[in-house]
Chains A and B, each alone.
Chain A
Amino acid sequence: MSEHDKDVDAATGVETTGHEWDGIRELNNPLPRWWLYIFYITIVWAVVYWIFMPAWPALPGMGTNTPGIRNHSDRALVAESIDALRSARAENGAALIEASVEDILADQDLRQFAMAAGESAFGDNCATCHGAGGRGAPGYPTLADDVWLWGGGLDEIQHTITYGVRQENMESRFSMMPAFGRDQVLSAEEITNVAHYVRTLSGLEEPSDASIAGQEVYEWNCVACHGEAGTGDQLQGAPDLTDRDWLYGSDMATVQATIYNPRNSAMPAWGERLDETTVKALAVYVYALSGSEG
């Protein structure tokens, strides 16, 4: 059907599009006027937009695109709002830098600010290993309880966060449990015996011949760090073996494996990655998780 040959629907008197499907033809009614007006307005709006906002890929020598007379830049806006956030936090943030962690904890306002900042920083940086709320996981200490490898005081927590564990820097928390099995310091039997002995310390099993034999091995090899009574030493990061808390697990196989080839796990030195305020806020938050120094 050619364009000149108009097909008009008899019932309505309206021209059809000329397309036919199974005897059904589509009426070619004009678009509603309000719809057309809005369409025209959007076209005008587009031109206005080109003038004011970055729009067209630029001609050579004009950069990446036409800048528009408003010089709008999303990147600049983001930078602006980050600056605004910084200055909004400036007062409390500056107070955090000046105050000691003890002062922060004792002051109601600073404490609330540090707890909020610490909670979000913890979620971003620490929860990956230590779990939300410091719940911990095998190999990653629980921070919500009162057991601390390197000390649970505010200053000690701040130090551990700043310098990390087993890092290159001089202040880092550092200790190295020897690999008694792998380096063939102890025989397999000796390891089994001392494992039995260690488990008796916290009442996980009753003394036996093996554990009595293991006590001698313990006194020769382990006392230097874990102490005569097995209560550990926070200065060396040596865990208390008499409590109910086990970093890797308390079953016989895990204890044996730890003596044979200790994991000596590490934690990054967050002072190299986060600013001082954030580290302080983290220290206060982590301290508050358990509320006790152990």
Chain B
Amino acid sequence: MTALKPTPPSDAQPMYKKREPVHPKLVSGKFRSFKFAFMALALAVYYGLPWIRWDRGPDAPDQAILFFADGKFYFGPIEIWPQEVYYITGILILSSFGLFLVTSLFGRVWCGYACPQTVWTDLYIAVERFFEGDRNKRIKLDRAPWTLNKIWRKVAKHAVWLLIAAATGGALVFYFHDAPSLAYNFFTGHAPTTAYVFVGILTFTTYSLAGTMREQVCTYLCPWPRIQAALTDEDALNVTYRWDRGEPRGPHKKSETWEGRGDCVDCNACVTACPMGIDIRNGAQLECIHCALCIDACDDIMKKVGRPTGLIAYDTDKNVELRAAGKPAQKFRLFRPRVIIYAVLISAITALMAYGLLTRSTFELNVLKDRSPSFVQLSDGRIQNGYAIKLVNKRIDPKNIRLEVTGIEGADVSLVGEEHGDLDVEIPGEGVTRFRMIIKIPEDAVDGNDRLRIVAIDTETGEQDSNFIPFSSPRRN
């Protein structure tokens, strides 16, 4: 097949913008140091958490944080059953409100410091820098022909990237299984297939997202840059180029005066430092993840040319406008309506969840009525219905439960296998115990529209759970 190169009409815009490789230059400064420290902390938390133990007694998992073990979630002392998944929803809601709050206060600090995409990309760039050198060397190497030197550097870089990617996926599966035994089984080839599959998937995503896609993930894939435009305002602290001070920009020679010109010497240090490949001096933009590396880069230059630092700094749009108009800048306003609303919402949801957690039930009663047959008539004329009783004990210790049936006079209640009329049962811990309940009621005591209330009572604590359930009989008018 001979593919002729398309020759689009001259005024046509290309559909796709070809990616220009970004080679951020290493900067030094307080934000760079903080970012490295935070990266170390984030990675330590991610890799370390599954290895923390938590004693829950025998027959229970001893991993502090464990998801989907027998369908349950474990967070230290808190154990969440699948039917209580709304707590997980609560945590997600809290997380998003937390994100909103932080965004309205300090802009996109999530993007700049804490987002896994940022943390891993930063790590991958550090690896790249280790093997290929800093910005200029990398650019040169990319343009250079394929020599042995280039090949080993590239191969080594990708190999380390893949190792990190595999370790990332490897750490994730530990959140879903007992970490020490899974680690052993994983390397001896006895781990569940899902473990290998998920390690494979995460190796692929980590390698491609942090290694090859990088800033494109933030620019094209992530919805957050779009959402945050609605969350930030002129009072939020953003990484800002103070154009009121920097303009008009231009190269500056040592002998020249600073009178009548801005502080920006147009050295491009902020641009070369940017992992997103943008120019912060163009103002707030979707691509900017507010990682503050340009602040470090610019401060460095400002010190060298003998001007005050902070030409690029965390600042609010409002202050820049005020200073440009010759007015004094405002103090940062912590208490703004949206901040207060988010804070109140977060407190309210936290309180609600804490209340729910503290008062949540330790057992559950579920009653299912037989549908086939929905009733039978006994030889003495009484109507009989059968019910499947499920008692869920969410605690490790066994429980003594008393069942009571109210609603219809003269009901003869029994549990199959237990003494007739004995409705006190012991149920083992951590599981579901099933009983079959038989209820017989004289024909003239029911009319076809009857309802029963079945109550389960913990005889020790008095805690109750109840179900309303119909009692079927031939319909009479």
Q: Which residues of B contact A145 (CB under 8 A)?
A: 376-379, 384
Q: Which residues of B contact A112 (CB under 8 A)?
A: 433-434
Dominant SS among interface residues on chain B: loop
Asked whether, in the complex, the Cβ of B371 is within 8 Å of the Cβ of A133, the reply is yes
Q: Tell me if B318 is interfacial: C-beta within 8 Å of chain A.
A: no
Which of chain A's residues has its CB closest to B4's CB? A15
**Binary CB contact string for chain A from 1 to 39 against chain B (1 if under 8 A, 0 otherwise):** 000000010011111000000000000011000000000
Asked whether, in the complex, the Cβ of A142 is within 8 Å of the Cβ of B373, the reply is yes
Q: Tell me if A198 is interfacial: C-beta within 8 Å of chain B.
A: no
A290/B372 contact (C-beta < 8 A), A11-B9, A144-B384, A145-B378 known:
no
Asked whether, in the complex, the Cβ of B373 is within 8 Å of the Cβ of A134, the reply is yes
Shortest CB-to-CB span from B24 to chain A, Å, is 27
**Binary CB contact string for chain B from 2 to 39 against chain A (1 if under 8 A, 0 otherwise):** 11111111000000000000000000000000000000
Q: Tell me if A146 is interfacial: C-beta within 8 Å of chain B.
A: yes
Asked whether, in the complex, the Cβ of A289 is within 8 Å of the Cβ of B386, the reply is yes
Asked whether, in the complex, the Cβ of B438 is within 8 Å of the Cβ of A290, the reply is yes
Which of chain B's residues has its CB closest to A12's CB? B6
Contact among A106, A136, A292 with B373 in the assembled complex (CB-CB below 8 Å) = A136
Q: Which residues of A contact B433 (CB under 8 A)?
A: 108, 112
Q: Which residues of A contact B7 (CB under 8 A)?
A: 12-13
A292 to B436, CA, bound (A): 12
Contact among B4, B373, B426, B434 with A144 in the assembled complex (CB-CB below 8 Å) = B373
The segment from A161-169, A211-219, A239-247, A258-266 found at the interface with B is A239-247
Which of chain B's residues has its CB closest to A114's CB? B417
Asked whether, in the complex, the Cβ of A14 is within 8 Å of the Cβ of B373, the reply is no
Shortest CB-to-CB span from B392 to chain A, Å, is 14
Shortest CB-to-CB span from A132 to chain B, Å, is 4
Classify chain B's interface size.
20 to 34
Q: Which residues of A contact B426 (CB under 8 A)?
A: 108
Q: Tell me if B381 is interfacial: C-beta within 8 Å of chain A.
A: yes
Asked whether, in the complex, the Cβ of B417 is within 8 Å of the Cβ of A105, the reply is yes
Which of chain B's residues has its CB closest to A104's CB? B417
Asked whether, in the complex, the Cβ of A288 is within 8 Å of the Cβ of B372, the reply is no
A5 to B381, CA, bound (A): 95
A105 to B438, CA, bound (A): 15
Asked whether, in the complex, the Cβ of A288 is within 8 Å of the Cβ of B436, the reply is yes
Asked whether, in the complex, the Cβ of B386 is within 8 Å of the Cβ of A291, the reply is yes
Q: Tell me if B464 is interfacial: C-beta within 8 Å of chain A.
A: no
Classify chain A's interface size.
35 or more
Shortest CB-to-CB span from A37 to chain B, Å, is 14
Q: Tell me if B151 is interfacial: C-beta within 8 Å of chain A.
A: no
Q: Tell me if A57 is interfacial: C-beta within 8 Å of chain B.
A: no
Within 8 A of B (CB), among A102-132: 105-106, 108, 111-112, 115, 131-132
Q: Which residues of A contact B366 (CB under 8 A)?
A: none
Q: Tell me if B370 is interfacial: C-beta within 8 Å of chain A.
A: yes
A287 to B386, CA, bound (A): 12
A8/B4 contact (C-beta < 8 A), A131-B372, A290-B384, A290-B438 known:
yes
Q: Tell me if A147 is interfacial: C-beta within 8 Å of chain B.
A: yes
Asked whether, in the complex, the Cβ of A291 is within 8 Å of the Cβ of B6, the reply is no
Asked whether, in the complex, the Cβ of A132 is within 8 Å of the Cβ of B436, the reply is no
A284 to B258, CA, bound (A): 98
A15 to B6, CA, bound (A): 9
Which of chain B's residues has its CB closest to A202's CB? B379
Q: Tell me if B60 is interfacial: C-beta within 8 Å of chain A.
A: no
Shortest CB-to-CB span from B441 to chain A, Å, is 14
Within 8 A of A (CB), among B378-398: 378-379, 381, 384, 386
Which of chain B's residues has its CB closest to A242's CB? B379
Which of chain B's residues has its CB closest to A285's CB? B436
A244/B6 contact (C-beta < 8 A), A112-B434, A288-B416 known:
no
A244 to B416, CA, bound (A): 24
A14/B4 contact (C-beta < 8 A), A133-B372, A144-B376 known:
yes
Shortest CB-to-CB span from B64 to chain A, Å, is 30
Q: Which residues of B contact A243 (CB under 8 A)?
A: 379
Q: Tell me if B117 is interfacial: C-beta within 8 Å of chain A.
A: no
3 nearest A-B residue pairs (beta carbon): A135-B373, A13-B7, A291-B438
Question: Which residues of B are at the interface with A, using a C-beta cutoff of 8 A?
Answer: 1-9, 370-373, 376-379, 381, 384, 386, 414, 416-417, 425-426, 433-434, 436, 438
8 new A-B contacts at CB < 8 Å, known A108-B417, A132-B372: A13-B4, A105-B417, A135-B373, A136-B373, A245-B377, A287-B416, A288-B417, A291-B436
CB<8 Å pairs between A and B, sample of 16: A13-B5, A14-B6, A30-B3, A105-B416, A111-B416, A135-B372, A136-B373, A142-B373, A144-B384, A145-B378, A146-B378, A146-B384, A240-B379, A245-B377, A288-B417, A288-B436
